[in-house]
Amino acid sequence: MKARLIVIALGGLFLLFAIVPLAMQSSAQASTLGVQPDPLDTGVQETPSCQAILTRAMDTLKNVCSDLGRNKACYGHDTVKAELRSDNVRFDSLGDIVPIQMVKKITTSALDLQRGTWGLSLLKLQANLPDTLPGQNVTFLIYGDISIQNLSGNMQSFYFTSGLGDLKCNETPNSGILIKSPNHTQVTFTANGVQITMASTVLLRAEKGRAMDVQLIEGHANVRTKSGATTLVSGQHVSVSLGGSNGLEPQGKPSAPKSAPSNPALAPVVRSAENISQGSSSSGLPTATSGLPATQNAAPAIATVAPTSANLPIPETPTLTVAPVEATATQAPIAAPTNTTVPQAPSEVPPTLVPMAVTDVPPATDVPPTADQNPAPTAQSAPTSAPPATDQGVQPLPTPAS
């Protein structure tokens, strides 16, 4: 009996020592071949996931906000929150559109990798554009961690702050407001107490109590405070110190312009704003891609009209082809519709109104100075039987004296 128990105990120990190593080996193999730990826990996100979120966000913005009208705000991509001036309007779902006058404040969210969200809001504003350009708008593309407060009601004057964005994703540009004017048209607005005049694309970022950065993507710009002003060319940026009671008032003049650092992640945002801005010109007005004002765009259509005799001016010297009459000194030139409608004289008589017949008219030295003297017709004068040209407003030739 004791021998049997000893055998069983030894068998159990053998199985224990055999199974445990196998289990550990299987666990290691599962760890190697199975699902890897969530990259979110490592602090680094794989590139395809970041790019997929940004691409989906931009596509959604284009689909739901492409028909946005002047002085309107659009909810472009989750997540966006708004403080409105009325409870009768909504701005909490994709594609929601409200008049800009109803907006007190808009807040967009930074990239959230776990939720797959990246806040986008699109504004199309008149700013100081004239009413004669109804199809043209200034485009505001607000993306990432942004809070913007509408001070003037039409967003021509506003306060804003921006966060740094999600540093886990290299494809994400730092949060900001991209502003584009139509067709390089010069517009002016005030951001955080700083007057900015620009044409055509700028990027704004601001940290409360620190500084606001103005980067010129394309065109030219002027940045002005009460203490001074700076002019930018494409590829430059300036900063303005911020402070005051709200941390968003300019402190001193803008810095000297410097070359802006390269940021490839910003390219998709710029392209998206460009495409949407072009869509606002669908009414027939020129777009930024033409690079020409409306009058130049129309020029080719005018240039294709071939000149004809009907397009040429009618000579204003009909008195050279008729006998001198005193009344013709004050008579207005006759404007025939075309040369083909002028009545022609008999073949042996030179035409009376066609300029080509000038060579057949007697020299001016043979013409008497006044109409009181009725000269005898020469060999080249029109006979009395020629049809009168009174229907063209010219007096008939006088009858030769007997």
What ranges do the domains of the chain cover?
A: 47-281
> Confidence class of residue 12 from pLDDT cuts 50, 70 and 90?
low
Sequence letter at residue 395:
Q
Task: Quote the pLDDT of residue 193.
Answer: 98
**Which CATH code of 3.30.420.40, 2.40.50.100, 2.30.30.220, 2.60.120.1440 fits the domain covering 47-281?**
2.60.120.1440
Provide the residue count of the chain: 402
Task: Quote the pLDDT of residue 165.
Answer: 62
- As a whole number, the mean pLDDT across the chain is 73
Please enumerate, as own/partner, the contacts of 6-10 that have beta carbons within 8 Å and a separation of 24 or more.
Answer: none
> Confidence class of residue 288 from pLDDT cuts 50, 70 and 90?
very low
| Region 123-133 average pLDDT | 89
Task: Quote the pLDDT of residue 277.
Answer: 82
| Region 298-305 average pLDDT | 35
CA 101 to chain centre: 23
Which is more confident, 378 or 210? 210
Q: Supply the DSSP symbol for 144.
A: S
Task: Quote the pLDDT of residue 269.
Answer: 93
| Region 17-28 average pLDDT | 54
Instruction: Report strand pairing: 138-143 vs 120-125.
Output: antiparallel
Task: Quote the pLDDT of residue 135.
Answer: 80
In DSSP terms, which residues pair with 205 in a beta bridge?
Answer: 213
| Residue closest to 221 by CA, chosen among 251, 240, 195 | 195
Q: Measured between alpha carbons, how far is 143 from 152 in angstroms, rounded to an integer? A: 21
Task: Quote the pLDDT of residue 373.
Answer: 45
Task: Quote the pLDDT of residue 320.
Answer: 40
Which is more confident, 243 or 47? 243
Which is more confident, 396 or 357? 396
Residue 172 CB coordination number (10 Å):
22
| Region 258-270 average pLDDT | 93
Query: How does pLDDT run across 151-210, given as a tens digit for each residue?
Result: 999 999 999 999 976 567 888 899 999 999 999 899 999 999 999 999 989 999 999 999
| Region 272-291 average pLDDT | 55
| Burial of 359 (C-beta count, 10 Å sphere; 0-12/13-18/19+) | exposed
Q: Examine residue 338 and say whether the peptide bond preceding it is cis (omega within 30 degrees of 0).
A: no
| Region 229-254 average pLDDT | 97
CA distances in angstroms from 103 to 109, 123, 202, 397, listed in the order given = 17, 11, 23, 83
Do the beta carbons of residue 144 and residue 172 sit within 8 Å? Answer: yes
Q: Is the pLDDT of residue 101 over 50?
A: yes
Which is more confident, 213 or 367? 213
Name the pTM for this structure: 0.60
Lowest-confidence region among 43-52, 66-75, 259-268: 43-52
Letter string b/e over residues 59-89, b meaning 16 or more CB atoms within 10 A of that residue's CB = ebbeebbeebebbbbbbbbbbbebebeeeee
pLDDT > 90 in the chain, percent: 48
Q: Measured between alpha carbons, how far is 138 from 127 in angstroms, rounded to an integer? A: 7
> Confidence class of residue 296 from pLDDT cuts 50, 70 and 90?
very low
